[in-house]
Structure 1
Amino acid sequence: MVGNGMRIHPRAWLAAAVAVAVATGAWAAVSTGDDASPDDRTAADVLTGHDWTHVAGGTAGSGGVRIVGLGRRIVQQDGSGGQPNPPVNLRGPRLAVRGPVEITAGVDRPAGRSAVLTLYGDVPVVYDEWRHNPPGLAVTVTDGELRLEVWDGRGNDPAVRRRATLAAPAAATVTVTRAGGRLTVRLGDARLSVTDPGVFSSGRVFFGADADDSGPDGWTLTSLRAAGLDGGSATVVDAPALDQSAPPPGSLRALAAARRALPIGAAVAAEPLLADDGYRRLTAAQFSMLTTENALKPQFVHPQPDRYDFTGGDLLVDFAAANDMAVHAHTLVFGEANPRWMQDAPADRRERIMLDHISTVVGHYRGRVAEWDVVNEPLSTESEDYEDGGTGLRRHLWQQAMGEAYIDTAFAAARTADPGAKLYLNDFGLEADGERWDALLGLVGRLKQRGVPIDGVGFEAHIHEAGDRVTAAVLQDHFAELARLGLSARVSEIDVYGDPAAGQAEQYATVLTACLAAPNCTSYTTWGVTDRYGSTTESDTYPPQPGDDLLFDRNLAPKAAFTALTRVLRG
């Protein structure tokens, strides 16, 4: 299956998959004894026989990999900005490199189209609304220009930009060389050279491909080869297998299965899943449910009106299936995390856009996803929305176009797209009494009266400040009130301020105890696996400054909170 994020006829997927077979565990190492450019007999092929069927915007075929620009960008919580988020071939080949190396790429592009090849020293990681860019470089070829951009791992933007004017042919060979402390890019007579800031000092190279434009024609990566120079080496390594070893008996998932068959879950980041062996193994070992942290938010899965990108979601869903984990998909309709084109759509077109989005995304995963957050955070943060008989609904592009009925419409569409999936409304601040909880009860009561197919409510349970606290008795009362309405509850996104560690452990344990005591509490999920990739990482910081809110620290070591949960599960 071609994981290009676009809707393609199944026969086209099959043809592409046959043309470029997925190789498992294959590798090839090349080293030359002089500084001459290697020829095809000494360079390792990074394209043929390796997996290029899962690169976003790519379609693998007999002539190479056709790349169409998706225009992927990440907006901030308020909908502003638009940080570029170009694709990386997470499930495909990467290089292990040492010393001087040379990489050559064949590029075939129609007139007027751009081609972008990106080489990363590590995979970029998305921390909610911020993409951390590691050291890397991007080479762009247009009709009249060769461009080089270099990231040094110290900021979002390139540290160096160079360009050369040329008349680029439709079919060309681009060469990237690391040697003598410099990075050099060549295309025909054009040559760009800059000081190497340690782009590949990690010893790894990951590949990405994109286009500056989002036209339908795209361009084709016809070849990709790598070799060592002057004693250097380049080894082609395929992505690791998705299935991991069996969970240990003392894991959270094993203890929960023995106690009440309660799924213990975590929000999982797609980017490091196949690049960080420790993260992958820890996730599979400890958790029996996976929440798609960012990959299925609208701005990631639906970057353009006529284009969908399922690569991140497919990776997470396939990983869950390989490791006997249920999938809770997040999220279909949200006032945030929407691409700019959705935000700018006229009000009279938004219902149609929402319906197409839900039917396409839920339909893509029909039968493979157990649960969906259909509507995320519908309640307002403004006190005035709760006053004078106000319902407390958040005002955003969907509510402004359809009123409260947007919720009814979204749930009905999701039920039609996958009748077997459980459908949830998800929000924060529901763990305490007050106007927010009262508004939630009123909302779900109205939904039930109108026959809306809602199955449950997610309690995010973010405890981000020292003064935040969840009381077991109140939380259990809220679960019971939902049970009287015939609704399930789930702890959907818990993370806890980590100072002091004992207080963090107590709050994690308190919420789990309340969930175990409530027959209608269907799962307990933390908002992340480890602080290394936690969403409370401070944005725009290089190197990243992780928070201290999850069960495992930045070194993947268990905290007191993890031990507290194991004690609760052992009873």
Structure 2
Amino acid sequence: MKHFRMPAAAAVLLSATLLVTAAQPASAHEPPLRALADRADLRIGTAVDMTALADDTAYRRTTAREFSSLTAENVMKWESVEPQRGTYDWSKADELVRFARAHGQAVRGHTLLWHNQLPAWLTTGVADGSIDAAELRGILHRHITAEVGHFKGRIYQWDVVNEVFNDDGSLRDSLWLQKLGPSYIADAFRWAHAADPKAKLFLNDYNVEGVNAKSTAYYELAKKLRAEKVPVQGFGIQGHLGIQYGFPGDVSENLARFADLGMQTAFTEVDVRMILPADAEKLAKQATYFRGLLDACLGTRSCKSFTVWGFTDKYSWVPGVFTGQGAATPLDEAYAKKPAYTALAEALSEGR
């Protein structure tokens, strides 16, 4: 992924404690992140691996203790909820919602419309021509209506449209654009709003932390759609960073311009990877990146949630996708706190 360098003036300073190399064991006497976030009027969240939640007691206990918002890592994506056409499987997603309710947590919905992780029956039908444009639009309408309707009243934010722009600001040449044209974006938001008028509806993407061609394309799209009364209510910044690329510039300015449109903002998938092996210097730099994004969120009233994409390196997606990289989350594989965790806790303690 391409990232942008941070101007020297925007560098985030750590306290001397964050420069200590080793991960620190958790203490039962320290307030969890969710307690600190509550005082700062923010939901602190994590993506949840449902297999780990079922099988790993430490994972389950940490998920419940530390976070006030949960996002399904995969089990709300289309290939999971409708593996055969017209046959829905909400079981794993329902388990997540039940777990969240039992532990006083809110749930973010992820994601209604994406170009990846689509069911095979859909992609095959489009490819071989057995599903034409008119039918595809009806299928999309039914999918959004069914999923949002199933979870009505139980999801506070939905990632409605995910990753629809390229880094240069052009629309991604997905099957949705090819078959339906750009109007599919507005349609998705209207259908989601009709199914649950109280959920906040988000655009969501990566490489949009700062002001750049891609985030500006989202800004212009949001401004246009809102002028047309399309219920685009939030902008989700994923926040997948790597310390080797530099910290993105103008993060606060980017948040502010969406806030000026009357929209909520959120960091939705934050992790900070590094080239392995990890060492004290890399971990300290990682901590500044986590803190930099969270400080920008805390400094913007419209920023309502901050979600890490997994909290322990034991289950991170990063090593499986970026060869030779990892250590991207706030806790190590043994659930010990890294400097990144301490940075998040310090930022939340200072509040808005």
| TM-score using structure 2 length | 0.85
Equivalent in the alignment of 1:493: 269
Are the equivalent residues in 2 in contact too, given 1:551–1:559 (CA < 8 A)?
A: yes
Task: State whether residues 424 and 457 of structure 1, in contact with CA within 8 Å, keep that contact through their aligned partners in structure 2.
Answer: yes
Partner of residue 347, structure 1: 132
What displacement does 1:337 show? Answer: 0.9
The residue type paired with residue 265 of structure 1 is G
Q: Is the 8 A contact 1:249 1:255 kept in 2?
A: no
1:524 shift after superposition: 0.6
In 2: Cα distance, 1:551 partner to 1:277 partner: 18
Counterpart of 1:285, as a letter, is R
Q: Deviations over 1:42-81 (max 9, x none)?
A: xxxxxxxxxxxxxxxxxxxxxxxxxxxxxxxxxxxxxxxx
Whether the 8 Å contact between 1:377 and 1:427 is mirrored in structure 2 is yes
Query: Which structure has the greater CA radius of gyration?
Result: 1
Partner of 1:567: 346
Instruction: Report the alpha carbon displacement of residue 440 of structure 1 after superposing the two structures with TM.
Output: 1.3
Aligned to 2:183: 405
Counterparts of 1:304-319 in structure 2 under 5 Å?
A: 304-319=84-99
Q: 1:255 pairs with 12, 16, 36, which one?
A: 36
Which residue of 1 is the match for residue 255 of structure 2? 479
How many angstroms does 1:256 deviate by? 1.2
Q: Given the alignment of the two structures, is residue 444 of structure 1 paired with residue 222 of structure 2, yes or no?
A: yes
What's the RMSD between the two structures over aligned residues? 1.8
Judge conservation of contact 2:243–2:285 (CA < 8 Å) in 1: no
1:270 aligns with 2:55: no
1:509 aligns to what?
291
Matched residue, 2:334: 555
Q: Look up the equivalent residue of 1:493 and give its one-letter code.
A: E
Residues 210 and 248, structure 2, Cα contact 8 Å, conserved in 1: yes
Report the CA distance between 1:437 and its aligned residue.
1.9
Q: Is the 8 A contact 1:371 1:422 kept in 2?
A: yes
Match for 1:283 among 63, 74, 80? 63
* Matched residue, 2:21: none
What is aligned with 1:415?
193
Instruction: Indicate how the Cα distance of structure 1 residues 497 and 330 shifts in structure 2: closer, same or farther if over 3 A, else same.
Output: same
CA contact (8 A) 1:534 1:546 kept: no
Matches within 5 A, 1:146-295: 250-258=31-39, 260-295=40-75
Deviations 1:15-46 (A, max 9, x none): xxxxxxxxxxxxxxxxxxxxxxxxxxxxxxxx
SS at match of 2:267: strand
Q: CA deviation at 1:539?
A: 5.7
Q: Relative CO higher for 1 or 2, CA cutoff 8 Å, sep ≥ 6?
A: 2
Mapped to 2, the partners of 1:504 and 1:465 lie a distance apart of 6
The 2-side partners of 1:546 and 1:263 are apart by 28
2:203 alignment counterpart: 425
**Cα deviations across residues 237-279 of structure 1 (Å, max 9, x unaligned)?**
xxxxxxxxxx965110011112x22100000111111210000
Identity %, equivalent residues: 38
| Alpha-carbon spacing, 1:429–1:539, altered in 2? closer, same or farther (3 Å) | closer
Hey, which of these two has a bigger chunk of strand by percent?
1
Question: Match of 2:320, SS?
Answer: coil
CA–CA distance in structure 1, aligned partners of residues 322 and 53 of structure 2: 22
Q: Retained in 2: the 8 A contact 1:492–1:527?
A: yes
Contact 2:47 2:72 (C-alpha < 8 Å) held by counterparts: yes
Q: CA deviation at 1:547?
A: 2.4
Mapping of 1:45-64 within 5 angstroms?
none
C-alpha distance in 2, partners of 1:340/1:496? Answer: 32
Say whether the 8 Å CA contact 1:375–1:410 is kept in structure 2.
yes
Q: What secondary structure, in the 3-state scheme, does the structure 1 residue paired with 2:35 have?
A: helix
Alignment partner of 1:274: what SS? helix
Amino acid at match of 2:163: E
2:159 corresponds to which residue? 373
The answer to whether structure 1 residue 360 and structure 2 residue 141 are counterparts is no
Alignment check: 8 A CA contact 1:470 1:510 kept: no
Q: Measure the CA separation in 1 of the matches of 2:91 and 2:144.
A: 17
Output the CA distance in 2 between the equivalents of 1:287 and 1:347. Answer: 43
The amino acid of 2:105's aligned partner reads: M
**Partners of 2:46 and 2:311 within 8 A in 1:** yes
Tell me, what secondary structure is at the counterpart of 1:425?
A: strand
What is the DSSP-based 3-state SS (H/G/I as helix, E as strand, rest coil) of the residue aligned with 2:149? Answer: helix
Determine helix, strand or coil for the equivalent of 2:54. coil
- 2:111 corresponds in structure 1 to 331
The one-letter amino acid paired with 1:256 is: A
* Structure 1 unaligned blocks of 5 or more: 1-246, 387-391
Q: Extract structure 1 runs of 4+ deviating beyond 6 A.
A: none
C-alpha separation in 1, matches of 2:239 and 2:206: 6
Mark the runs of 5 or more structure 2 residues left unpaired by the alignment: 1-27
